[in-house]
Amino acid sequence: MKKIFLALLATAAVLTASAQYKAPQIVANGGFHRSPASGAKNSMSALKAAQKLKVYGSECDVNLTKDGEVLVVQSGWHPNKKANPKADVQRSTKAKILEVPYANGENVCTLEEYLKRAAKKPATKLILDIKNQGSIKRESQLVEKTLEIVAKAGMEANVEYIAAHAWTCFELAQKAPQGTKISYLDGNYDPAYVKAMGCSGIDYNFAKLKKKRGWIKEAKKLGLTVNVWTVNKDQDIRWCIQNGVDIITTDDPILVKTIIKDMCGKK
């Protein structure tokens, strides 16, 4: 009887320990690009893999071409640098970028194409990273075009925004529908300042937030969500959970899911 009692106590202790933390949401950075079915950030297959995994969100980079087209592609050079080494996204036309595929053979997507796929599995939010454009004029143009495309697709309730420029966040806060979720990326402002910008959350680099751990509680007191990027190591993921972050952005959503199950008792 004593052995049974001790076994029950041990089981209760394990259950209590595994449920002591609140489970954060997961955002797949660039989609679930490490999936065997993908292999390329921001690709359509990476979005599909994230949706299949049923994570909270799939992040992607939104950029503006020289001829004013909005593509789901990272800033700087074309992602397939070996095949298209001179194609700077922001200084190239849409046709120039689309003529060369990703290394996995897929074509770069327009935002319209990405939203069409996102609409098929709306439970996974699309997190649009509005990339820096080098000028306020171009960033305003990208914000306006992006919001217009999202509205036309009927996806305003299923899209969230992140940006590294304070100006871009301010533009989004002024022009997006009321209640739109907008998070600031750069990590150089305290939560009170970010809230004053009109944002609903901070989305800071792990190393920066770890140095400013007090900002997590401060943000929560102000009603801001706390997202951390890009967290891929076991001990870093556990730190995020222990310190109460709301969202973990990661290249390895399966690992994050496993650790959440271990620490929070959630599948």
Report if residue 6 sits inside a domain. no
Joined tokens for residue 251: 């290249």
Joined tokens for residue 170: 């301010």
Quick one: pLDDT at residue 132? 94
Radius of gyration of the chain (CA): 20
Residue 4, pLDDT > 70, answer no
Report if residue 11 sits inside a domain. no
The domain containing residue 165 runs over which residues? 22-264
Residue 145, pLDDT > 70, answer yes
Joined tokens for residue 129: 């990273």
Averaged over 48-64, what is the pLDDT?
A: 97
Per-residue pLDDT band for 175 (boundaries 50, 70, 90) equals very high
Domain containing residue 94: CATH number: 3.20.20.190
Report if residue 1 sits inside a domain. no
Tell me which long-range contacts 94-102 makes (C-beta under 8 A, separation of at least 24): 94/65, 94/67, 94/69, 96/65, 97/65, 97/71, 97/73, 98/71, 102/40, 102/43
Report if residue 137 sits inside a domain. yes
Give the per-residue SS3 of 225-240: EEEEECCCCHHHHHHH
Report if residue 246 sits inside a domain. yes
Q: How far is CA 43 from CA 195, 223, 232, in A?
A: 32, 33, 20
Q: How far is CA 50 from CA 18, 76, 215, 257, in A?
A: 25, 24, 29, 12
Report if residue 47 sits inside a domain. yes
Quick one: pLDDT at residue 79? 65
In the chain, which residue ranges form alpha helices assigned H by DSSP? Answer: 2-18, 44-53, 94-98, 111-118, 136-152, 166-175, 191-196, 206-211, 214-221, 234-242, 253-264
Report if residue 13 sits inside a domain. no
> Whose CA is closest to 62, among 3, 6, 119, 144?
144
- Residue 212: CA atoms inside 13 Å, Cβ hemisphere, count? 18
Quick one: pLDDT at residue 184? 98
Quick one: pLDDT at residue 81? 60
- In the chain, the number of structural domains is 1
Report if residue 12 sits inside a domain. no
Range in 61-75, 82-96, 142-156, 240-254 with the lowest mean pLDDT: 82-96
pTM for the predicted model, two decimal places: 0.91
Quick one: pLDDT at residue 207? 98
Say if strands 182-184 and 225-229 run parallel, antiparallel, or are unpaired. unpaired
Q: Which residue has the higher pLDDT, 134 or 205?
A: 205
Q: Which residue has the higher pLDDT, 13 or 25?
A: 25
The amino acid occupying position 89 is: V
Per-residue pLDDT band for 128 (boundaries 50, 70, 90) equals very high
Burial class (CB in 10 A: 0-12, 13-18, 19+), 102: buried
